[in-house]
Amino acid sequence: MIEIERKFLVDASKLPGCLIPIRIAQGYLNQDPDRTVRIRMAGDKGFLTIKGRSSDNGLSRYEWEKEIDSNDARDLLGMCSNVLDKSRYHMIHQGKLWEIDVFHGMNEGLVVAEIELTSETESFNLPEWITQEVTGDSDYYNSNLSINPYKLWIK
- Positions annotated as catalytic residues are 28
- Give me the residues paired with residue 64 across strands: 50
d(Cα 144, Cα 3) in Å, to the nearest integer? 19
> What Å distances lie between residue 154 and 126, 145, 149, CA to CA?
28, 14, 11
Beta-carbon contacts of 75 under 8 Å, excluding residues fewer than 6 positions away, are none
Q: Please provide the DSSP assignment of 28-93 as one string.
A: EEE--TTSEEEEEEETTEEEEEEE-PPPTTSSEEEEEEEEE-HHHHHHHHTT-SS-EEEEEEEEEE
